[in-house]
A and B are shown apart, each in its own frame.
Chain A
Amino acid sequence: MKVIEIRNLKKTYNTGEVKVKAVNGISIDFEEGEFAAIVGPSGSGKTTFLNMLGGLDRPTSGEVVIGGANVWELSSRKLIDFRMNNIGFVFQAYNLIPVLTAGENVEFIMQLQGMPKKERGMRTKELLEAVGLADRINSRPGKLSGGQQQRVAVARALASRPKFILADEPTANLDSKATTSLLEMMAEMNKKYNTTFIFATHDQRVMDKARRIVSIEDGRILSDERFER
């Protein structure tokens, strides 16, 4: 089942007199349960691509269809709710809410969704257990290591039961040990919940784990390969 359909997506930045074509006509589909990496050198347009996919950055032209809905035809108000209910985000800098505990960070999105308190509590526990941080439920992000914070971020991204998770350079700030265990955990989550993961990365360790690698350069797809792992 197709989760995302992208048709001829373009994004042009006007920097003074020069027009920069960050994304220059990308068409691609993602299936449910994929574990895909979008790779390319910095400046290749992969973050811009990911942001347009995530409903954060408006494309100059083209379509992003998620679950039958053309994302960029939604009003900005509806778009926020759409993001909340359909897309999970994992950022390079973890970006947890520093004043909330690990548990509250995970619970927060479910509260925004209006999930009942009891259900929220159970799911928070379950997710933190799944990412291996059940014992840090009451710790604030400042008390956690980078790897642990990123695990909380993954649990948070999963909390809203999204159609897919976008992870922009999730391992860039982590050492190799934390990277390995985070990737293993994400692969496990991918299998366990059949949630689609899409990474933007130039980290070889991520590519080694990915079952699909889409290479982008100069805003275009260079190659699209699938692997059995």
Chain B
Amino acid sequence: MILSISWRNIWRNKVRSLVIIFSIAIGIFAGVFSAAFFKGMADQRIQKVINTELSYIQIHQPDYRQNSDFGNFIPDGSALTAKIRQLPHVTGVSQRILIQSMLASAETASGVLIAGIDPAIESTVTNLNTKIIEGAYFDGIKRNPIVIGKKLAEKLNVKVRSKVVITLQDLDNNITSGAFRVAGIYSTDNNLFDESRVFIRSSALIKLTAFPATAAHEIAINIDASENLSLVESQVKEIAGDKEVMNWKALSPEMNYLTEAMGIYMYVFIIIILLALLFGIINTMLMVVMERRKELGMLMAVGMNKRRIFTMIVLESILLSITGGIVGIVIGALTAKYGETHPVDLSMWAQGYQQLGYDAFVYTSVDPVMLVNVSIMVMITGVIAALYPAYKALKNDPADALRME
């Protein structure tokens, strides 16, 4: 019955309770929605990096990342690739030959990293083929097509169909060069990537350098959904033996840090909101206790012990907070859920964001764990807010309280 008394007590002063409930609801709504918004933003950014640059998992020779020598390749790359392709949840496996080289146009030259790929297979792993802004993805040029980034095209002052020359050292350290024509120009959100990475057919690179046809420097793996990452990763590790298998978090720690930092910021933000609300709830509960001095005295006189009085006040505060909290969480979650399919349009400020690699349209992303955590935090706030008022209530002397007629 104490629970029922606490709940009914809330509605004794409807306006006052509704004011505090709505302020809690608005605060929590703001917290939940912002959290979903910024998580969505970070998720989108990461997804983009995974889709265009990183892929989910990469395999290299154990020391390749320290010594990216052309000769430091995975000899049985094709066999490994074929095995990984059989794994569940794997949607694409691309083997790449990588080599540092010089790319020269008629006017100037620039150092680049050449990736020798199978264009059709590469597009099952990365979405480079959708990033073409001029020309076509390996189409339209019969002999030796090359796909380069927009930034590099500007630097070299080349257009689609322009001729460029690659100069590189083959496995025996002989300088060789080959002429290529620009088939397509791509543009991602990462200028550095656009300026330094070019793509040619692996067959052309093999021909130019006498590289073993089944070997690869890098095997990039795409999977169906990020929640299957650890499962696939462990299976790949089994197959790959002594090779170095790394997921995107390890490949790009700064991206992983982005999500973690974003999560921490959001909790700090919500704690600040709750701290502000805390004082509002304390104020309300103090008013409640002052107003009901006589009633509390009566309850103590007829046999409510201190523990029960305390419980009653704390419950009232918790119920008040959690009612507001639930309203806020529900509205926040629904709005954020809507935002998962209807993006927030930031195009007014999009230029700045895009330079940082963020999208102009942000799809929110609701984290159910966070919703649960926020509910618990609201409840804790309710308890903390009740402590001082409840202490005040216990200080009540029943004889004194009853004397106030």
Stretch of B1-9, B159-167, B347-355 at the chain-chain interface: B1-9
Flag if B8 contacts A83 (CB, 8 Å): no
| Bound Cα distance from A91 to B294, whole angstroms | 11
Q: Does residue B120 face the partner (Cβ distance < 8 Å to A)? A: no
Q: Does residue B403 face the partner (Cβ distance < 8 Å to A)? A: yes
Flag if B302 contacts A156 (CB, 8 Å): yes
Tell which of B301, B303, B398 touches A81, judged by Cβ atoms closer than 8 Å: B303
Flag if B12 contacts A89 (CB, 8 Å): no
Tell which of B8, B304, B305, B399 touches A57, judged by Cβ atoms closer than 8 Å: B399
Q: A97-B295, A108-B1 are in contact. Are A83 and B403 (CB under 8 A)?
A: no
Q: Does residue A43 face the partner (Cβ distance < 8 Å to B)? A: no
| Bound Cα distance from A99 to B3, whole angstroms | 12
Q: Does residue A95 face the partner (Cβ distance < 8 Å to B)? A: yes
Chain B residues touching A, majority SS: helix
Q: Does residue B405 face the partner (Cβ distance < 8 Å to A)? A: yes
Contact partners of B301 in chain A: CB under 8 A: 54, 56, 83, 89
Contact partners of A95 in chain B: CB under 8 A: 294-295, 298, 402
| Bound Cα distance from A156 to B298, whole angstroms | 12
Flag if A99 contacts B5 (CB, 8 Å): yes
Contact partners of B402 in chain A: CB under 8 A: 51, 56, 91, 95, 168
- Encode contact with B along A154-190: 1 for CB under 8 Å, 0 otherwise: 0010001000000010000000000000000000000
Flag if B306 contacts A77 (CB, 8 Å): yes
Flag if A98 contacts B12 (CB, 8 Å): yes
| Bound Cα distance from A108 to B303, whole angstroms | 10
Tell which of B1, B294, B303 touches A84, judged by Cβ atoms closer than 8 Å: B303
Flag if B403 contacts A47 (CB, 8 Å): yes
Contact partners of B371 in chain A: CB under 8 A: none
| Bound Cα distance from A190 to B301, whole angstroms | 22
- Encode contact with A along B384-405: 1 for CB under 8 Å, 0 otherwise: 0000000000000011001101
- Encode contact with A along B52-77: 1 for CB under 8 Å, 0 otherwise: 00000000000000000000000000
Tell which of B295, B304, B305, B399 touches A77, judged by Cβ atoms closer than 8 Å: B305
Q: A92-B405, A108-B1 are in contact. Are A100 and B8 (CB under 8 A)?
A: yes
Per the 8 Å Cβ criterion, residues 8-39 of B in contact with A are 8-9, 11-12
| Bound Cα distance from A128 to B30, whole angstroms | 51
Residues of chain A at interface, number, CB under 8 A: 30
Residue of A80, A92, A107, A113 contacting most chain B CB atoms (<10 Å)? A80
Flag if A84 contacts B302 (CB, 8 Å): yes
| Bound Cα distance from A111 to B4, whole angstroms | 13
Flag if A104 contacts B302 (CB, 8 Å): no
Q: State how many angstroms separate the Cβ of A35 from the closest Cβ of chain B.
A: 21
Q: Does residue A109 face the partner (Cβ distance < 8 Å to B)? A: yes
Contact partners of A109 in chain B: CB under 8 A: 302-303
Q: Does residue A112 face the partner (Cβ distance < 8 Å to B)? A: yes
Flag if B1 contacts A80 (CB, 8 Å): no
Flag if A160 contacts B8 (CB, 8 Å): no
Contact partners of A100 in chain B: CB under 8 A: 1, 5, 8
Q: Does residue B318 face the partner (Cβ distance < 8 Å to A)? A: no
| Bound Cα distance from A98 to B146, whole angstroms | 83
Residue of B298, B299, B302, B306 contacting most chain A CB atoms (<10 Å)? B302
Tell which of A80, A104, A107 touches B303, judged by Cβ atoms closer than 8 Å: A80
Q: Does residue A207 face the partner (Cβ distance < 8 Å to B)? A: no
Q: State how many angstroms separate the Cβ of B337 from the closest Cβ of chain A.
A: 37
Flag if B12 contacts A83 (CB, 8 Å): no
Q: Does residue B83 face the partner (Cβ distance < 8 Å to A)? A: no
| Bound Cα distance from A80 to B399, whole angstroms | 13
Contact partners of B300 in chain A: CB under 8 A: 80
Q: Does residue B308 face the partner (Cβ distance < 8 Å to A)? A: yes
Q: State how many angstroms separate the Cβ of A170 from the closest Cβ of chain B.
A: 13
Flag if B399 contacts A97 (CB, 8 Å): no
Contact partners of B294 in chain A: CB under 8 A: 93, 95
Contact partners of B398 in chain A: CB under 8 A: 56
The chain B residue sitting closest to A55, CB to CB, is B301
9 nearest A-B pairs in the assembled complex, by CB-CB distance: A84-B303, A99-B8, A57-B399, A95-B298, A56-B399, A80-B305, A51-B399, A112-B303, A56-B398
- 6 A-B pairs besides A91-B298, A99-B11 with CB distance below 8 A are A51-B402, A93-B405, A99-B8, A99-B9, A108-B1, A112-B303
